[in-house]
Structure 1
Amino acid sequence: MQETAQREALPRSRHAHRTPERRGNTLLRHVVIATVIGFVVVIATYQIEPFRNYQLATIGAYLCVLPGLILLTGFNGQISLGHGALMAAGAYTVVLTPSLPFLVSVLAGVLVAMVLGAVIGVAAARLHGPYLAGATLAVAVSVPALTTTFDGVFGGDAGLTFSPPPAPASLGAYFPYERWQAWLTLLGAAVVMLLLANLVRSRFGRTLRAVRDDEVAASLAGIHVGRVRVLAFVLSAAGAGLGGAMFALLAQSVSPGAYGLTLSLNLMLAIVLGGLGSLRGAVWGAIVLVALQPLADWVTSWAPGTEQRLEGTLPLAIFGLALIVVMTTAPGGLDALVTRLNPLRKGRS
């Protein structure tokens, strides 16, 4: 009887010893993957034209925001339609602090977005489903009203211009600025993806999923549900603040129209289309968002004279059609579809 108990305890003991090793291997694997991808992307930026580098930089800016939104919605079950406002917080902070070094301004923008995310998270901790969506929707629509009310600070509807830092002189006098933008935004995206990829595999990641699956059971297990929901909102807001700062770098200006309700809806649609079950869905969602406008321009080129009538509506129509097709053929999003077509990627996240 004693020998049987020892044999049963042996696998558990081995499992306990292997757990820290697996976590270390996961971190190392993510760092290696990020390094290899970063090396390939840097080489690619030398091979493509400036406009393609700008598109790549835009993908990087979206990749600062979307992983955090997937963490909030896909891993914790909270719906946010106000991430455009959190991005505006990061963007306006960078533009309003021109005397600070750019990195310090970006960190300040992330901090401001986190504080705003904490306020929203505390207010929404007891809300669920459409009530939570409605509360965050109110935040999204308040951005234009706030900038109009305090137009002396925020520049009103016209917004504010911004002189971003130039590329380092060590890169050469004729170094393309679009390539430098791509490097900065993709570096920010790499940091966000690396941190969150390890976070979702940690104990806190399991706690997020436990709260998402059954709040009552999680509470009975000793998890402080409200605290977890607020922390998820704060982490997601940090990525949104960083993304807003990167968009200010790309546009060299900031205005309330760029961070309104349409942006928040597009972000939510992008993660649903890309896939809520994995952070990789953020990559597909960012690519789709960047490819949306060129695709709309290509469609209107087949019907000359319709550009003005379809401006602003055709991209949304294409987005909605793509969403219907993907949700019908692959309910898990584009990432689930790619995983299904490539068995080598099954089981990874």
Structure 2
Amino acid sequence: MSDLQGPTSVVAGAATDDPPTAATAAADAPSAAATGGRTLLPRSTLLRHLLLVVVGAVAAVVLLEVTDPFTNSQLATLSYYAIAAGGLTVLTGMNGQISLGHGALMAVGAYTTALFLSADEPLPLPVVLLASTVVAIAVGALVGVAAARLHGPYLAGATLALAVGLPGLAIYFNDWLGGDQGLRVRAPRAPEWFEAFIDAVSGNPATNTKWLAYVGAICLLVTWFVLANLVRSRIGRTWRAVRDQEVAAELAGIHLGAWRVLAFVVSAAAAGLAGGVLALVVRLAAPSGFTLVLSLSLLTAIVIGGLGSLLGALLGSALLVFLPPFVTDLGSGWGLDSTEAAQLAPFVYGVVLVLAMIFAPAGLVGTLRMRWLAHRATRAARSTPG
């Protein structure tokens, strides 16, 4: 790891004659912005992210306690979408690899969770979720090694085959994985300490839906803490070097294949954990829940939110979760029947995607960040004498 700083610096120097795209500049903007200006946050990256985790945990508790059970369920859904989208952000936004197979990796985590929880005496829930992550890592490593030499549409095609083929194993191993009907997931009940915590915080009922929403929030915070530190470390800088200037990175001594496999493994770990949370929330692991649509939805979320931005992944995931029911309710209010109102949601989501591509080509977060940096640069130029 000690040799990463040098190659990254060489690659950055080689990139001066080939300016990065708008999306690339937006993804790298946090590093540039962090070097100057006043801030109330700690200078240490680790402490800064720990503080943000604490703030996020407080916000999650407040949000889950002031909302109704249906919204709690939606927030639980948001958690597994955001976990998977965060991992895909590392792979696509940071390392430049396009994956259409993350729905299949989520299926690996979901089925692993279902199998472990089906035991007569299941292991503790954290151990089960960790096992789901480890199994997804193993599958992701195999796929990453096989796809390390592929680029662009070839990699997308390989991962597309994974998304189409892997869920079909549940049908082939019908007796073990439940076939088309899938496996029912026996979600663990809320422990007594959780009921005591909720009673002390708000006095609201400690339902199992709320418990699973808290599990999803904890997994999301832990995952994003790890991903945020990786992105801001020398590992993240090397990923961006491989993404932006492959030839210069290889000349600088960076093993492109190894770093691509590492990005795929990290992304697969997030997808496996997201699949485990999905199995708990939906209480079912079935092939119909892990179709190509899921993989495309994750990719759409990070494109709308902003490639290379974890906050963008969260915003894109929120659109996936909250926009369809909002549009459906809106359509029902306009007098449409239930079928017509449900069909209106994908249309509106497609319109949002097109508008984002036209007016925010770097994603929502990336475009706002670029405009803010341009505003700061303009203000600094005006204040400079002479």
TM-score of the two chains, using structure 2 as the length reference: 0.79
Matched AA of 1:90: G
Query: Which of 95, 98, 107 is the aligned partner of 1:88?
Result: 107
Q: Which moved more, 1:223-232 or 1:329-338?
A: 329-338
- SS in structure 2 opposite 1:301? helix
1:252 to 280, 283, 304: 283
Equivalent of residue 301 in structure 1, options 315, 324, 332: 332
Query: Which residues of 2 match residues 185-334 of structure 1 at below 5 A?
Result: 185-302=216-333, 304=335, 306-308=337-339, 311=342, 314-334=344-364
Match of 1:133 in 2: 156
Q: 1:263 to 1:301 in 2, by over 3 A?
A: same
CA contact (8 A) 1:144 1:157 kept: no
8 A contact 2:77–2:278 mirrored in 1: yes
Q: Sequence identity of aligned pairs in percent?
A: 48
The equivalent position to 2:77 in structure 1, one of 54, 58, 72, is 58
* Greater CA drift, 338-347 or 181-190: 338-347
Query: Counterpart of 2:4?
Result: none
What is the CA-CA distance between 1:304 and the residue it aligns to? 4.7
CA-to-aligned-CA distance 1:69-115 (integer Å, 9 cap, x gap): 00100110000000000000000000001222221111111011111
Q: How many residues align?
A: 326
One-letter code of the match for 1:59? L
Contact preservation (8 Å) 2:103, 2:291: yes
Distance in structure 1 (CA, Å) of the matches to 2:224 and 2:135: 21
Measure, in 2, the Cα distance between the counterparts of 1:31 and 1:325: 35
State whether residues 90 and 110 of structure 1, in contact with CA within 8 Å, keep that contact through their aligned partners in structure 2: yes
Contact 2:53 2:221 in 1 (8 A): yes
Name the SS of the counterpart of 1:175 in structure 2: coil
Contact 2:92 2:308 in 1 (8 A): no
Q: Any idea what SS the aligned residue of 1:43 has?
A: helix
- The match for 1:8 is none
CA spacing shift, 1:146–1:230, aligned 2, 3 Å: same
Q: Give the C-alpha shift of residue 306 in structure 1.
A: 4.8
Q: CA RMSD in A?
A: 2.4
Q: Name the amino acid aligned to 2:133.
A: V
What is the alpha-carbon distance in structure 2 between the residues aligned to residue 344 and residue 163 of structure 1? 52
CA distance in 2 between counterparts of 1:125 and 1:203 reads 21
Offset from partner CA, 1:201-221 (integer Å, 9 cap, x none): 111111100110121111110
Given candidates 164, 172, 176, the residue that maps to 2:187 is 164
CA shift in 2, pair 1:344/1:130, >3 Å: closer
Q: Say if 2:208 is the partner of 1:177.
A: yes
Matched residue type, 1:150: F
* TM-aligned CA deviation for residue 32 of structure 1: 0.5
Residue identity in the other structure for 1:334:
L
Structure 1 gap ranges (5+): 1-18
Query: CA offset at residue 288 of structure 1?
Result: 0.6
| Structure 2 unaligned blocks of 5 or more | 1-34, 36-40, 197-204, 378-386
C-alpha contact 1:94 1:102 (8 A) present in aligned 2: no
Cα 1:246/1:328, change in 2 over 3 Å: same
Instruction: Identify the residue that residue 25 of structure 1 maps to in structure 2.
Output: 44
Q: Distance in 2 between matches of 1:326 and 1:102?
A: 39
2:138 maps to: 115
Determine if contact 1:141/1:261 at 8 Å carries over to the other structure: yes
Amino acid at match of 1:149: Y
Contact map agreement 1:121 1:233 (CA 8 A) in 2: yes
| SS across alignment from 2:206 | coil
CA deviations over 1:12-57 (Å, ceiling 9, x no partner): xxxxxxx9xx997111011111101211221222111111111111
Residue type of the partner of 1:127? L
1:264 maps to amino acid: S
Q: Output the amino acid matched with 2:185.
A: F
| 1:12 matched residue in structure 2 | none
- Tell me whether 183-192 or 95-104 shows the greater mean CA deviation: 95-104
**SS of residue matched to 2:66:** coil
Is the CA contact (8 Å cut-off) linking 1:280 and 1:335 kept in structure 2?
yes
* Residue equivalent to 1:5: none
The answer to whether the 8 Å contact 2:332/2:341 transfers is no
CA separation in 2, counterparts of 1:341 and 1:226?
35
